[in-house]
Every structure is written in structure tokens, then in C-alpha cells.
Structure 1
Amino acid sequence: MKTRSSRFRLRSVVLVVAGAVSAFAAWAVEPFTVRDIRVEGLQRVEPGTIFASMPIRVGDTYTDERASAAIRALFDLGLFKDVRIDVSGNVVVVIVEERPTVAGVDFVGSKEFDKDALVKSLREVGLAEGRPYDKALTDRAEQELKRQYISRSLYNAEVVTTVTPIERNRVNLTFTVTEGEPARIKDIRVVGNKAFSESTLRGLFDLDTGGWLSWYTKSNQYSRAKLNADLETLRSYYLQRGYLEFRIDSTQVAVSPDREDLTLTINVTEGQRYVVSSVSLQGNYLGRDDEFKSLITIEPGEPYNAEQVTQTTTAFSDYFGSFGYAFARVQARPEIDRTNNRVALVLQAEPARRVYVRRLVVSGNNRTRDEVIRREFRQYEASWYDSDRIKLSRDRVNRLGFFTDVNIETQEVPGTPDQVDLAVSVVEKPTGSLQLGAGFSTAEKVSFSFGIQQENFLGSGNYLGLNVNTSKYNRNIQLTSTNPYFTQEGISRTFDLYYRTTRPYYTQDGDYRLINEGGTLRFGVPFSEVDTVYFGAGLERYSFEPGSNLASQTPQAYRDYFGCATQGDYITACSDDTKTGVPLTIAWARDTRDSALVPTRGRVQRAGLEVGVGGDMKYYKGSYQLQQYFPLNKQYTLAFNGELGYAKAYGDEVYPIFKNFYAGGLGSIRGFEQNSLGPRDAVTGAALGGTKKAIFNAELSTPFPGAGNDRTLRMYGFFDVGNVFTDRTLGITDAQWEAQKKLRASVGVGISWISPLGPLRLAYAFPVQYQDEEVGAVNQVGYIPKDRIQRIQFQIGTSF
């Protein structure tokens, strides 16, 4: 084949400046028809990628302009470090040099972020394992990492990238981070406020200038997310007080030259305060105008309150949803009279179309069975859409405790305007736990515990647990299993098997023991969505072991109940040292608190009755508890707790003393030694508890000084009053009886901390009503000693 007299070779020098790529040809050739295209230099990129990107095809006419366009197109792929085109006869030869591939990304010196979070942020800017290495992307990655650190107030953070070439044209990237110290908020300023003082507005913020606990709360470390949340709090504060046109003009973050301090300046325009003149309805309300009007929480004559407006529009949308109108539109339109500072609210509604649910689609449950989620739903397939039932269903799935997130989305069915699907997506969390721990309290001293629980056994929703406790006074081993859907109607079944050894009196030196072993079977019947009634039965046995047999160290009440005979100071035998019983139980529970650990609003009620119907113990024991929480504002919560108990034997039986109620210490009346109140044993002076119980507690929870609005660490003041009582027996004098039934009371302050080991409460109490002198003589029936005062008390896992 004849060779062309002038052989063309195009050499390109590519300069990437501001995204512009220019290719320069070494010399030009006359156009010709391309017979073939050959690619050289490929390692990982497929040849098809080259051919698909080039504007030159076999059979096309080759020109210098097309060659330049081909080079630019291949560079635009971002896969090549160098591209050039040679011509050999009628054959176009494309010669490429691929960019290295990122083999691995590592971080050195990063403590503030998890590696996974940093890898994710780099992936968003295009830098990740397996992708081509690009110096420009590396620079962007460094800037992104610095931005992430600035968001955590680490303005001095430095990032250095090390590129290490390895075999097969790959590189490892190492980002070495010097975090430095975080910048602290030195001052927060609010500019433009007139109606409220600057200190009042700053008190709304979670961000502050720090205190002696800032090392724990980090409230003086700037975070854009925290600032945005505080700005929303500020906006809501004004909008709830009539300032309809309030706006935040700007926020400025000024960093000191040494980057160690910063000042936040928030510029606001309050506007005028508006009063609601009227509220009217417009649109289609399904002929139920009066029913919708009853949902309105906006009061004419009161200052405009954005929260009330939102509550009303949400209530309207939900009410429309309860009739199947999933896409109802409700809008609050303000008509402002700036002359008189009044606003008329018009609630415009359009229900759109009514729909029914075609099917539920569950996703995200890799371990949990579909039926565990579906059985909690009160919105059924092939029935009208009901927003109330959907919210209730979501809450019920949430309360299972198996998921970190539960989301329900309404999806339209294409081509069918009156049908929707409910997409239920969940994010599972580990539901099994293995616990090895130790605890210390002023009453129990050191205790060790072991527990293994699986709340979602094999994805079935069933609970299985084994717990062991080795405290000084209460040791137990217990196996528990719960099937929350023993029946399709939602009746739960729980059984317990247990073995416990107890020394119930915290003031004794003797080594006697009370052994309790047995099992219970309990069924929980849901009578409503918030009310559950429990029915149970058990079989139990109590055995009494005098230990050292010293009568002077064994409570007289125990000796009498178990029929123990004495000779001198020694117990010779107990004629009835084992008691058996068949207790039947019925209980009711309702809990509407917003949180079980840190409640701020809501109520919890519990009532129970236990009746001994068989064996050696015939008795009944009833109890009732009510807790109520009132949020005074964002920072302060007022709480009340009340407990009542009553127990008595029936027939000719004696009430079993180990079933008594106890009081004193954390969890009941603080300032008194744990379980020390009530009647005392005539021989040892040990607290025996009583068959009647009445306790009242009041607490005011406040922010801990220096901790800002952190709700995991709080301070509280309290007032406790109450006691346990028993029936008057023979031999008790009037003075002893009056001393025994007198109420005990205390006031004090304390600290509540949700610690890694569980809720911890520390209390310092001042008893204000107590028994300060002995009544009667030691070893006398009804002997009333002085109350055992204990001003400082703490415990992990208690409440109130």
C-alpha cells in the first residue's frame, strides 16, 4: 500500500486552566477517510468508552478539527492524564495515559469524626476508592474536610494530603489532620430587640458562652446545626407572642485573629405585635364546619400565636385524613391590619379527593419478620385512608423498640387516583444485649450483675431474658419470656422463673436469710390503645434460715411468723419454716409520658391487686401510683408522684410479713435510711415495713449550672412526705402509736444524670419532720427508736 508523502502526527499539550482544555496540533494533514481506529495504552478503561466518546467513526472524514474535538472529549471523561492522536495511513491511533486509581483512603489524627463520616463526605465531592485520582479533587477534598471541622468550631484544623503510588497504576491517599483546639464562643449578641431583653433571648439558646461544665456539655462550641436550631427557637418565641412579621436579618460569626474565640451576632427586626381579630373558614369542609371549628385553638382577642395556627392547620389536615382525604390542603391566610395592629385569620381548605389504601409495603426489616410490623398496624389494606390510624400504627411500631427510625410515606398509585400505597420503612437496631456490670449504692454497697436479653428473639418480636444479681441484701436469678402476641388479638403472655435470697432489713448484723423461689404466668389484655390490664397467677415458696441461730440477731416478727422456738439466746427449731402460696394478680397500666428517661409532660398510672388464694398464705395487697409532669417552660419541669398501698390477711391467717410495704430513702422519702421507716421489731429494732403505705413527692427540675439546656444532666429540688403504717397491736402504748403513725417529711436538692450505666440520682435531704427521740424501752413491744437520718444518698436506676 502506498504511503502518504507527508505522515501526520498530532501531538497535544493540554493545559487545564479554569476547566478549559486546549489541544494544539503539531502539524496539519489533508483530510482522509478513516479506515480503522486503534487505541493504545488502556489498562482498566474499556475500549468502548473511548469509541463512544470520540466524534470520529470508521468511514468518517478525518480533519484537524475533529481530532481536536476528540482529544477534548476524551479529556472531559476525567479518566486520562494524557491523550494524543497519531495517523498511520488511513488508521487513526489514539494513545492514552490513564489516571491512577484511588486504592485506599485513610485518615491520621482525626478524633472529632468517625472515619465513616469523613469517607462519606469525600465521596460527595467525587473522591472515593476505585475512582480516578485527580489533584483538583484532592484539593476539593481538603477544603471539604476543613469545612467539616469548622462546623465543629475547629477553626485551626489543618489537613495535609499524602499521595503514595503503588503497583498497577494506583495510589493511596492519606489525609493527616491536625485538629487543634476548638474555638470557644466568647459572646452572643442579639441586635434589634426591643420587646424582650437580650439576656432573656440568650437564655433560649442551647449555645452559650460556657460555664464550669462546658467540658461536658460543649455548649460553648459553635456548631452551625446548633445555631440553626437556636434561631428557630428564637423565631418561634416571637411568633408565639404576636410578632407576626418578625424576621432574622442576618447572623454573623466573627472569629478572633488567633482563631480561639468567636462572637455570634444575630440581627433581628421584631415588627409590630398583632392581636387576632377573627378566625373564619373558607372552602369545602365536607359539611362539618362545626366539627372543624371545635378543633381551632386560636382565640380572637389574644396575641397571634404561630404555634396555635400550626396546631390548628395540622388538626384540620388530620381530621380530613380520618375521612380518607389523604391529600387535603389547609392554609392559614393572615389578613393584616397594620393600622390597628390586628390580624384576621382565614383558614382555607380543599379536601381534594378521597382515597383508600391498596397495600402496605414494608422495607428495611432485614431481621424482623413482616408480621411483627404488620400486626401493629391499625390502618388496614383495602380500607379507606385514615390518618389517625396511620399515626397510631407508626407509634405502635415505634414502641416495639426494635427500630431506630420508622417512616411511613403515602405513595400514589399510577393511573388510579383513588388509591395509595403506604411505604413503611424501618431502620433496625440491635435488640440483644449482654450485660456485665457492677454497681454501688449507699444501701446496697457493691453489687454485681449479669444479664442477657433478646427483645426480638429470632425476629419474632418475642422477649427472652436471663438476669442475675449479687447485691448484699438481694440476690436473684430470673428467667423471663414474653410473647406479645400470644393470640392474634394482641394478648401477651409472660412467664417468670426465679430464685431469690433476701435480707430485707438494712440495719442487721445477723446472717439469717429468706429464700423465695417460684414462677408466675401473666397475660396482658389491651382494652384500648393506651390501657392494658394484666392477669396473672403464680406458685411460690418462702423458706426461712435463722443462720447463726442467735435469737438476739433475728427479728422477733420472723420468729413468730415461722414458729421458731428459742432456748436462751439460740433458736432451736422453726416448726413452720416454709410457707407456700398461690398469688393471683391483676394490674392496670397507662403511660402517656413523652419520655421514659427524661419526661417533661404526661402522666403514668399503675394499679395492682395481689391476692393469696392457696397454700399457707391468705392475703390481699393493693397498690396505686400516679405520676404527673408539667412543663413550665423549656428549662423547668414540675413533677408530682403519689403512691398508696393497703394489704391485709383474710380468714384466720396472719399476713405474711415479707409482703409488707417499705419506705425511706431514694424512690420514696429521701433523707431517711433506705427502707427504715415504719414499725420496728421488738427485739432487734429492725424496720418491718407495714401493711399501709402513703407517699407524696414533688420535684422541680431545673438546668444544671453550667450545663445549659442539656436534659441528660439536671438539678432538682424536692419535697417528700409519707410513711408506712400497720394496725395497732396489743401492748403498744398511746405514745408509741402516735409516734409510729406520724408522717415523715423532708426537703432537699439533687442531681439527675443519664449516665452510661443508667439513670443516676444523687440527693441531699433535710428531714423536716422525723422521730428524734426513742419511745418505749428496747425489747418492748412497739418500741419506736429514733429515725435513721441519711442526708446524702445516691443510686443508679431509681426514679423520684
Structure 2
Amino acid sequence: MNKKMVAGLIAALSASGTFAFEAFTVKDIRVEGIQRTEAGTVFSYLPVKVGETMSDEKAAQSIKALFATGFFKDVRIEVEGDVLIVVVEERPAIAQIDFVGLKEFDKDQLKKGLKEIGIAESRVFDRATLDKAEQELKRQYLSRGKYSVAITTTVTPLERNRVAINFSISEGEAAKIKQINLVGAKAFAEKELLDVFQLQTPNWISWYTKNDQYSKQKLSADLESLRSFYLNRGYLEFNVESTQVSISPDKKDIYITVSVNEGERYMVSSVKLAGDLLLSEEEFRKAVQIKPGDVFSREKLNESSKAISDRLGALGYAFANVNAAPDVDKEKRQVAFTIFVDPGKRAYVRRINVVGNTKTADQVIRREMRQMEGGWYDADRVQLSRQRVDKTNYFSEVSVETPPVPGTNDQVDVNLKVVEKSTGTISLGAGFSSAEKVILSGGISQANLFGSGKFASLQLNTGKLNRNISLSYTDPYFTVDGISQGFDLYQRNLNPLSLSYRYKTSSMGGGIRFGFPIAEKESISVGFGIDNTKVTTYEDSPQRYLDFVKEFGESNISLPATVGWTSDTKDSVIYPTRGGIQRAGLEVAVPGGSLHYYRATYQHQRYFPLSKTFTLMLNGEAGYADGYGGQSVPFYKRFYAGGVTSVRGYDTASLGPRDTVNGVVSDQRTGGNKRLVFNSELLFPLPGLGVDKSFRLGAFFDAGWVWDKEDKMAVGDLRTSTGISAVWTSPLGPLKFSIAQPLNSKDGDRLQRFQFQMGTTF
């Protein structure tokens, strides 16, 4: 029997002109050595079939193809007569992957990451891939400051050509930044400069921010922040000379040294405008924030260029170029700027493309667009469109791009990209407030019903003071021009006995409402409802409560009609820094019911950015209520003040007139017909959190009071307080805290210096 063999890939590939065997016709093909791999898989990779001619060239191709699969550690081609024999040695399969000492990372997430690079159970084992995975895992630990990490990988052979992989990890402690030194800084205190750094030495909040752990990316960002700090204060020639990062021998402490050259401070000598201005020079000078005589500021210069570019963008010039050319006088330490304006060609929008919406209907997004296809490009309308889509709250991310249309110089497309988020919730939860105590809540809601943009919810909550169940539905686009329609059904129980108010009410009702947009950020609303309220009094209830029940009975029906106006210019719902909101509302119980009253309210709230860190909030509220047709306003429709949402430091609903029994003033609060509340608050982020907007602190001053109809409103009656507050937008809902010191409390006032509200009440 004549038997020949090609003993490997190298011999096959290096054969040149000399055949390892003579070409022959293959009558059969056998595969030897396979354990897990199907023979058919091997046949599929062979470039020769039964009945075809086998040559040394095809033998080389066969070996190369089988090696390329990654399934085999060795491949041989043998010839026995007219039979082609393929002998393979399979690579072992990974039977299991274990981690010992793993704490920093989630085990399942780590396995998922290893799978992406080829290391997973049932996969073919490859030593080179394992080494790569080990290095990547170590790099991940180093990125978290664990420089003393030690990783030992053990590969254990198992039966049936399998292996077990074990990662033994000694994580060690994360290295902390021990010291940050700035060399060459003279114009500013080192502490002031280090405040612009995200990297910090350990402090009380480091466990949360991790800013005491070194990161190359964070250091690069900090150096750019330092550069901006100097350039915004006139140091035009500022430069970072060198940066050194060293670690202690025990790999626990990191030392960072930054050497800087401050240079001289420059003043602005002149600012000129040149180029095709389109509008008058005065119009553009309104956008220039840097003036002659000012200290040079790169930030103000960039904002000036951007403001001019935005102004041109609002006119349709999407490709405008605005560049500032400096003329530096080093002797006088002055710099002059010429801002060159090139508006380019006016552009119009060819197409608006919406991507990322899989369940939300296109029209739900497009109806919020204020930039139209085929119209002149308007940068303000494009951004307004993005804001309106974002405010629908159906998406976790909304971004917009305006790329030029290829082959044209006067057309752009508007690409609006959204990332949908879950808008339906089924919730069971608990909350706590200093007024309501324990609050249990549950509900089901869908803010984007079937992708239509409609809202529906069923909510239930129960607290010591309020027990409510409500059903709501809103169609924000009942008509194509933005008129909204909604209805509400509710059942509410009010039990203020815990606040020493001797009565209870149980209300059931519903209503229909409509909203009408009258401007881009203004709307009016109208509504009509029906309410049936049952009042329960006690023998020791205040006389006015008893008189009300005697006059109108324990159960009465009212037909409230409402009209309201809202103007909302806030830049954010969660973390506002500028703009404000105004609300005016009127509720009238119209004839036809047993009660005749009206309530008028007004609120004006404004936010003023004082700096990138501090925001001043001012809020004023006023209200007036009375009856008509010979009736008085129902006592449960009167105004109250005091508590975490009005005048902090005083107990909830404790400010205002008190009942008089037999000439003696009791502790019973009766509410009032007139109400004034004023709040001022300096808001700022929690130090150490950087750009995190989930937590916000405040220093506040509150004032407020309520008066009876016959009382004269006097500033001296206002109760005032001051203190600090905190708001945390937690995963469980908003949490509000305040510590207040009443400034002019009087005998009989109920004080409550620490107040808080956890969870969301409905």
C-alpha cells in the first residue's frame, strides 16, 4: 500500500515546483481526530470534493482553510491510495470560567465583556486571546486606581479535551491622590486654582464622587479647565509647562505636580467688526460681550462670536463663519480684536429626518417641530424644536444635527435623533413627609399611550392627612393646532386631625379641561367640573365649621369652573438656572350648585444665573377667596401657609388666623381669605459633585401669612424664616429637606425647624 503525507502547513506552502505527491482523483475522504466538530464542518472547508483532482496546491489550501477556522491546533493531510485522509487535533473547549477575589466588577457583566473578545464557556480556547483578556482586565482595574492589583490566570485541563479557566484576583486598595502641587502659580491662591480641578485629595464626599482616584482623562480635562481659568482672566500667554504623576512605593498614594507659566495679564484695547455684516454694526455690537478696557476673557470672546453666529443662523445663514483675529501688543500688555464676519450663502432646509423612534409615532415628534421643511433655515427654530421634543419627556436623549446637503452650498438637512425611554410605569411605593408621616402609593400610568403621545394614569396614595384615588387622561393634541383636552375623576379624603383641625372632608368629583396655546411658551386653560363634598364635624369643632354645616348641610355640591394662564420660560424642569414661570388662575363655583364662591391665585417665579455655580430664585404668591350671593367661602377652600412648600420653619398650614372660643384664642387654625408668600433662595450644587445635577443645596429666606377677609394686610404680620435646604432627585423620586430658623415667631406659632418630604405624593 502506497501511503504519502503532507506533514504541515509550512511544507505545503513552501512547495515550489516539487510535488509532495502526484495529483490523483479523490475516491473518498476520511476525517480523523475530531471529537466535538462535525465531519460535515470539515468537509465544508475543504476546497476539494470526492471525484475531483487532488494536487499539492489544493492540499496547501485545505490546511490553510482548516487552520483559519480556529478550531484546530494541528492539521495534516495524508494520502492512502485514492483516499484523502484529513487528520486534525482540536483545540480544547472552555468548560467553565471562574473568578476568585472579584469585588470591584459585576461577575455577569465581566463574563459578558469576555465573551465579546472570544472567551466564553463552550467557545474554543485560545491562549493568545486569554492573554489579551487578562491585560484588558488589568487595565480596567488600573483605570479605577487599583495599581496594586495582581491577576493570576490558571488553565486546568479537563476530560474530553476541555479546560477550566480561573482568574485569581488580588484587587488591593485603590490608590488615592495624596497631593496636587501647582508650581509657578503666583497670581492666584493655590486653593482657588485647585477648586477648578475635578481631581481632588480625599474629602467627605469622595466615596461617592471617586474624584480622589487618579484618571489620565480627568487630569487632561482639569488642565484644560486651568487653562480656561487663566485665559478668562487676562493671561493670554498662559501655558502648562509640564505634568508629573508619581506613585508611592506601596502603590497607595499618588502625587501630581503641574508646572505652569502664567505670563502677563492683558487688557482689551479695541474690538472691531469687519466683513459682510448684513445688519447694522450696532445690531451686531449688541452681541459682543467683551469691551475695550476690559480684562481679556477667552470665554467672553467665544460667546461673542457664537452670539453673532447664532444671530446670522436665525436669519438663515447656516454656514456663517465668525472669527476673531488678535493683535497683541506685548509692551503695553494689550490686545486688540477684529471680528471677521462671513455669513456665507443663505440656506434652506431640504429634509427633516427623525431617527431612533421605534414605538413613538413620527407625527408625535414632528408636530413639535418649529423648523419646517422647505423653509429658510432658522437656528433658533431648530433649537426650539429640540427643546419641545425633549419636554415631551418621552425620550432619554434628544440631539439635533444640521449637516449640509452634499453637492450644494445652500441646503441643510435637520437630523433629529431620539433615544426612547420607558414611559409606562406600574408602581408600588412608600414615602414619608414631616406633615403626612407615612405615605403609601401605587398606580399605573402611561405617558405615551401606544406611541400616540396621549397620557393616562390611575393613581392611589394614602397618608395620614390625605387619601386620594384619581384617574386622569390627557390628549395634548386634541386638535392639530395644539389644543389639549383632558378629564379627571377623583375621590379625596382630607383628615387634618393630626394638625389639630377638628373636621374631616370626603370629596368625589370630576371634570373636563381644555388647554389653548396662545404663544410659544404661553397657554390658557379652561375647565368645568362637579364636586360633592361631605363634611364631618365634632362637638368641639370650631363654631365656623358647625355654622357651615348648619347652613349648607353635611353634604353639598359645587360646580367649579376654572380658567388659568401660564407662561413658562424656565430652561429646565429639574435643574432650572434662568427664566421663570408665571401662573394666574381663577376658580368660580357657578350657580346651579349649593355653594357660591371664587378663588383667585397668582404666582411669579424667576431664576437669575449669578455665575456657573450660583443661581438666585425669587418666588411670590398671592391669593384671594370669597363667596358671592350672600355666601362666604367654604372653610375647606380657604388659604393656608406654613411648611416645606411655603414658609419653612413653621408647621404645615399653621400660619394665619386662629379660632376664638368664648373670647379666648384657641389653637385651631381657620385659614384665611387672603394669602401672601415670598421666597428667595440662593441655589448651588453640592461641592465635590461637579456637573452632577441630581443634588442641589440652597440658602433661603421665606416670608408669608394669611388674613381673614376683614383683616387689613400688614407687612408686620408676615412670619419670616431663614435656613438651608437640599433637593435630591433620587431614583425613588424627589427628596426635599430644610433646616430653618424662624426670625419673628410669636406666642402660639407652631415651629418645626427640620422639615422634609420623601417620595412623590399625588
Q: Provide TM-score, normalisation by structure 1.
A: 0.82
Q: Deviations over 1:144-187 (max 9, x none)?
A: 12222222223233444455778997767665554443222222
Per the alignment, residue 559 of structure 1 pairs with: 546
Residue 790 of structure 1 is matched in structure 2 by 752
Deviations for 1:390-444, whole angstroms, at most 9, x for unmatched residues?
Answer: 2111111111111111222334545555544333221111111222222222222
1:544 deviation in Å?
A: 1.0
Could you tell me how far 1:741 is from its partner in structure 2?
A: 6.9
1:753 paired with 2:737, answer no
> Which position in structure 1 is the counterpart of 2:556?
579
Residues 640, 481 of structure 1: CA spacing in aligned structure 2 closer, same or farther, 3 A cutoff? same
Equivalence for 2:372: 380
User: CA separation of 1:145/1:60 partners in 2, compared to 1, >3 Å: closer, same or farther?
Assistant: same
Amino acid aligned to 1:278: S
Amino acid at match of 2:546: R
1:323 and 1:180 mapped to 2: Cα distance? 60
Structure 1 letter corresponding to 2:510: G
Offset at residue 204 of structure 1 (A): 2.0
Matched residue SS, 2:544: helix
Mapped partners of 1:739, 1:419: distance in 2: 63
Cα distance in 1 for partners of 2:578, 2:98 equals: 46
User: Are residues 399 and 481 of structure 1, via their aligned partners in 2, closer, same or farther at CA, if it must alter by over 3 Å?
Assistant: same
Q: Deviations 1:577-636 (Å, cap 9, x if unpaired)?
A: 222222222222233334433434432322222222232232322222222333444444
Matches within 5 A, 1:401-416: 401-414=393-406
Partner Cα separation in structure 2 for residue 128 and residue 289 of structure 1: 67
What is the CA–CA distance in structure 2 between the aligned matches of 1:290 and 1:744, rounded to whole Å? Answer: 49
1:475-624 map, 5 Å: 475-504=467-496, 506-508=498-500, 510=502, 512-546=503-537, 550-552=538-540, 554-563=541-550, 576-614=553-591, 615-624=593-602
Residue 480 (structure 1) shift: 1.0
Q: Post-superposition shift, 1:98?
A: 5.5
**CA–CA distance in structure 2, aligned partners of residues 82 and 628 of structure 1:** 76
**In structure 2, what is the equivalent of residue 688 of structure 1?**
670
Q: Counterparts of 1:100 and 1:678 in 2: how far apart (Å)?
A: 82
Q: Does 1:309 align with 2:313?
A: no
Counterpart residue type for residue 584 of structure 1: A
- How far, CA to CA, are the matches of 1:426 and 1:170 in structure 2? 46
Per the TM alignment, residue 745 of structure 1 is displaced from its structure 2 partner at its CA by 1.4
Structure 2 CA distance for partners of 1:382 and 1:706, relative to 1, 3 Å: closer
What's 2:203 paired with?
211
**Pairwise CA distance, 1:792:** 2.4
The offset of 1:262, in angstroms, is 1.9
1:37-436 superposed matches below 5 A:
43=37, 80-84=72-76, 97=89, 99=91, 110-114=102-106, 118=110, 122=114, 133-161=125-153, 163=155, 175=167, 177-286=169-278, 291-414=283-406, 418-436=410-428
Q: Which letter does structure 1 place at the counterpart of 2:720?
A: A
For residue 563 of structure 1, give the secondary structure of its aligned residue in structure 2: helix
Change beyond 3 A, Cα 1:59–1:707: closer
Question: How far 1:724 moved relative to its partner?
Answer: 0.8
Q: Which string of whole-angstrom CA distances, capped at 9 and with x for unpartnered residues, describes residues 22-63 of structure 1?
A: 9997999468886679896794867776759xxxx9899869
Matches of 1:115 and 1:285 in 2, distance apart? Answer: 61
Question: Cα distance, 1:105 vs. partner?
Answer: 6.8
State how far apart, in whole Å, the 2-side matches of 1:679 and 1:492 are: 40
Structure 1 residues 74 and 373, CA gap change in structure 2 (3 angstroms): same
CA contact 2:149–2:172 (8 Å) conserved in 1: yes
Whole-Å Cα distance in 2 between the matches of residues 141 and 76 of structure 1?
A: 21
**What whole-Å deviation, never above 9, does each CA across 1:198-257 have from its counterpart, x for those lacking one?**
100112233322233433443323344444443343232222222233333444332222
Give unmatched runs, 5+ long, in structure 2.
none
Query: Comparing 89-98 with 599-608, which one deviates more in the overlay?
Result: 89-98
Distance in 2 (alpha carbons) for counterparts of 1:172 and 1:367: 44
1:725 corresponds to which of 707, 716, 723: 707
Distance apart, 1:80 and its partner CA = 4.8
Indicate if the aligned counterparts of 1:750 and 1:764 stay in contact, CA closer than 8 A. yes
Amino acid at match of 2:549: F
CA deviations on 1:317-363 (whole Å, 9 max, x unpaired) are 33333344433333333333333322233333444444433333322
Find the aligned partners of 2:258 and 2:572 in 1 and give their Cα distance.
33
Number of residue pairs matched by the alignment: 746
Decide whether aligned partners of structure 1 residues 361 and 738 sit closer, same or farther in structure 2, where only a CA change above 3 A counts. closer
Tell me if the contact between 2:736 and 2:756 (Cα under 8 Å) persists in the aligned partners.
Answer: yes
Larger deviation, residues 140-149 vs 593-602: 593-602
- The alpha-carbon deviation at position 482 of structure 1 amounts to 1.2
Aligned counterparts of 2:633 and 2:750: Cα–Cα separation in 1: 26
Q: Give the Å deviation of 1:483.
A: 0.9
After superposition, the Cα gap between the structure-2 partners of 1:94 and 1:159, relative to the gap in structure 1 and judged at 3 Å, is same
More off after superposition, 125-134 vs 303-312 = 125-134
Compared with structure 1, are the counterparts of its residues 561 and 322 closer, same or farther at alpha carbon in structure 2 (3 Å cutoff)? same
- Residue 668 to residue 414, structure 1, CA distance change in 2 (3 Å): closer
Counterpart in the other structure of 1:762: 737
CA–CA separation in structure 1 for the residues paired with 2:104 and 2:685: 26
Please give the alpha-carbon distance, in whole angstroms, between the structure 1 residues aligned to 2:47 and 2:289: 68
The alpha carbon displacement at 1:681 in A equals: 2.0
**In structure 2, what is the equivalent of residue 19 of structure 1?**
none
Secondary structure of the residue aligned to 2:547 is helix
Equivalences for 1:734-745 in 2 at 5 Å? 742-745=717-720
Q: What SS does structure 2 have at the residue aligned with 1:155?
A: coil
Q: Distance in 1 between matches of 2:453 and 2:100?
A: 42
Kindly state the Cα deviation for residue 128 of structure 1 after the two structures are TM-superposed. 6.8
Contact 1:720–1:747 (Cα < 8 Å) also in 2:
yes
Q: Provide closer, same or farther for how the CA distance between residues 286 and 108 of structure 1 changes in structure 2, counting only shifts above 3 A.
A: farther
1:648, distance to aligned residue in structure 2 (A): 2.1
Q: How far, CA to CA, are the matches of 2:715 and 2:379 in structure 1? A: 56
Could you list the per-position Cα deviations for residues 3-24 of structure 1 after superposition, in whole angstroms to 9, with x for gaps in the alignment? 89xx6744468xxxxxxxx999
Write the distance in 1 (CA, Å) between the matches of 2:391 and 2:611: 26
State the distance in 2 between where 1:185 and 1:717 align: 32
**Is the CA contact (8 Å cut-off) linking 2:432 and 2:759 kept in structure 1?**
no
Shifted more, 299-308 versus 703-712: the winner is 703-712
SS of match in other structure, 1:690: coil
| Residues 733 and 760, structure 2, Cα contact 8 Å, conserved in 1 | no
Of 447, 456, 461, the residue aligned with 2:453 is 461
Q: Which residue of 2 aligns with 1:570?
A: none
Q: Give the C-alpha shift of residue 502 in structure 1.
A: 0.8
Deviation at 1:692, TM superposition (A): 1.0
Aligned residue for 1:733? Answer: none
Letter in 2 for 1:790: Q
Q: Secondary structure at the match of 1:426?
A: strand
Q: Is the 8 A contact 1:210 1:706 kept in 2?
A: no
